[in-house]
Amino acid sequence: MANTQAIDHLFNQAVHAQDVAGVVAMAATDQGILYEGAFGTRELGKDVAMTPDTVVWIASMTKAITAAAAMQLVERGALQLDTPVAAVVPALGV
């Protein structure tokens, strides 16, 4: 298992330096959760703490999430990188 104290320290440091107001982070494999942590506050100027189940807006992250999901499908053999997009999403083939 990874040194979660070092990860916690890094996120706490970012919150205390006011680089970010709050952070929720998780890492997992098919075997389960490797790391889970929540730091800082949900909103600037308020004392409501971040929790692992805090809902956040992940604007501009859909491409990264979609790419990670696609790579998982490639690893599983369920998707080929050279598959035409219309074969996956027919509406995009128009």
For the question of whether the overall pTM of this predicted structure is more than 0.75, the answer is no
The Cα–Cα gap between 85 and 82 comes to 9
Q: What's the token pair of residue 94?
A: 């128009």
- Sorted by where each begins, the domain ranges of the chain are 1-56, 57-94
Give yes or no for residue 59 having a pLDDT over 90. no
Q: What is the pLDDT of residue 11?
A: 96
Q: What percent of the chain shows pLDDT beyond 90? A: 60
Q: List pLDDT tens digits, range 31-55.
A: 999 999 999 999 878 889 999 999 8
